[in-house]
Amino acid sequence: MKYLDQLQRTIELKKTPKRIVSLVPSQTELLVDLGLEFFIVGVTKFCVHPSDLRQKTNVVGGTKKVNYDKIIALHPDIILCNKEENTKDMISELESIAPVHISDIYNIEDALELINMYGKLFSVEEKSAIITQNIVSAKNDFSKYTENRPKLKVAYFIWKDPWMVAAQETFIDEMISLNGFENYFENLKRYPEIDIEALDDSLDAVLLSSEPFPFNESHVASLAQKLKNTKIIVVDGEYFSWYGSRLQNAFDYFKKLHQDL
């Protein structure tokens, strides 16, 4: 059987994969929600949903560095990666162990495509269809919710020292747009470093992500001294950057966020 991944690479499999190594946290959660938890034999230390999964299976490393010997010993049928989360060198090495399926996500359509790809890849089409339908329904409902709300200009911070933000060509930027917000850094791409002192009064709100940097209320207080007329809030980074089945609940979270802003 031949399948395409999201880089249009051909993946050849003799049968439906039953031993899965997942090196992307959001994709690991998606596998569980597709009913495939029993088939997951390896995950990263960042695969925190569900919370007990790392105790049930094998932790093979992080998203940028793994223990290849551990993965070899697991005899995986397939290894799931992501273009942004995992490195080229890692993927090249992993391809000598088992077929590697790579995701590449920039928007909701990409996310839905990946969910449907997994449905076919792991013979769980009915479950993947339910998840995608739930996401589309929630997204459409949220679009109506945001129709008449003010279009706030926001900056979404992912890191401190150096200060880094999410700009164009990221899934986070897609979620900012779906919220009806305008990205303050729409003229930049990916995850640029920025000068915090250069922010001006046109900025309505600063969103400090809970991941990958663990922003908290102390950072809110510190920034508030610099940006006295700007709303500053810590947001759940998983709902902005996890593009799997978590999207089913993301739009309810965004409604609460709008109320806070």
Q: What is the CATH number of the domain that holds 98?
A: 3.40.50.1980
**If you average pLDDT over residues 133-142, what whole number do you get?**
98
Q: Which residues are CB-contacts of 78 (< 8 A; sequence separation ≥ 6)?
A: 11, 13, 17, 19, 20, 21, 98, 99, 100, 101, 121
* Per-residue CA distances from 69 to 47, 61, 89, 166 (Å): 20, 11, 16, 35
Cα separation of 232 and 88, whole Å?
36
**196 and 250 co-located in one domain:** yes
Per-residue pLDDT band for 206 (boundaries 50, 70, 90) equals: very high
Regarding whether 226 and 152 lie in a shared domain, the answer is yes
Q: How far is CA 64 from CA 89, 91, 104, 196, in A?
A: 9, 10, 16, 28
Cβ atoms of 111 and 89 within 8 Å: the answer is no
pLDDT at residue 82, rounded to an integer: 98
116 in a structural domain? no
117 belongs to a structural domain = no
Give yes or no for residue 62 having a pLDDT over 90: yes
Asked if the model's pLDDT at residue 242 lies above 90, the reply is yes
Percentage of the chain with pLDDT > 70?
100
Domain-located, residue 118:
no
Write down the pLDDT at residue 226.
85
Q: Which range has the worst mean pLDDT, 43-52, 119-128, 144-153?
A: 144-153
Q: Does residue 128 fall inside a structural domain?
A: no
**What is the average pLDDT across 95-102?**
98
Quick one: average pLDDT of 184-195? 96
Residue 148 pLDDT greater than 90, yes or no = no
Instruction: Give residue 100's domain range.
Output: 2-104
For 233, the enclosing helix (H) or strand (E) is strand 231-235
Whether residues 10 and 85 share a domain: the answer is: yes
Partners of 199 in the β-ladder: none
Backbone phi, psi, residue 151, to 5°:
-90, 90
How sure is the predictor about 150, in pLDDT bands with cuts at 50, 70 and 90?
confident
Of 217, 214, 209, nearest in space to 239 by CA:
209
Tell which residue, 249, 155, 146, 168, has the closest CA to residue 205.
Answer: 155
Domain boundary, last residue among 81, 104, 127? 104
| pLDDT of res. 200 | 86
Indicate the pLDDT class of residue 193, thresholds 50, 70 and 90.
Answer: very high
201 residue type, one letter: D
Mean confidence (pLDDT) of the chain = 96
The domain total for the chain is 2
User: Does some domain include residue 138?
Assistant: no
Conformational region of residue 161, where left means phi above 0, alpha means psi within -120 to 50, and beta covers everything else:
left
Does the residue 27 lie in any domain? Answer: yes
Percent of the chain with pLDDT over 90: 92
What's the confidence (pLDDT) of residue 213? 96
80 and 165 in a common domain: no
As a whole number of angstroms, the distance between CA 162 and CA 35 comes to 40
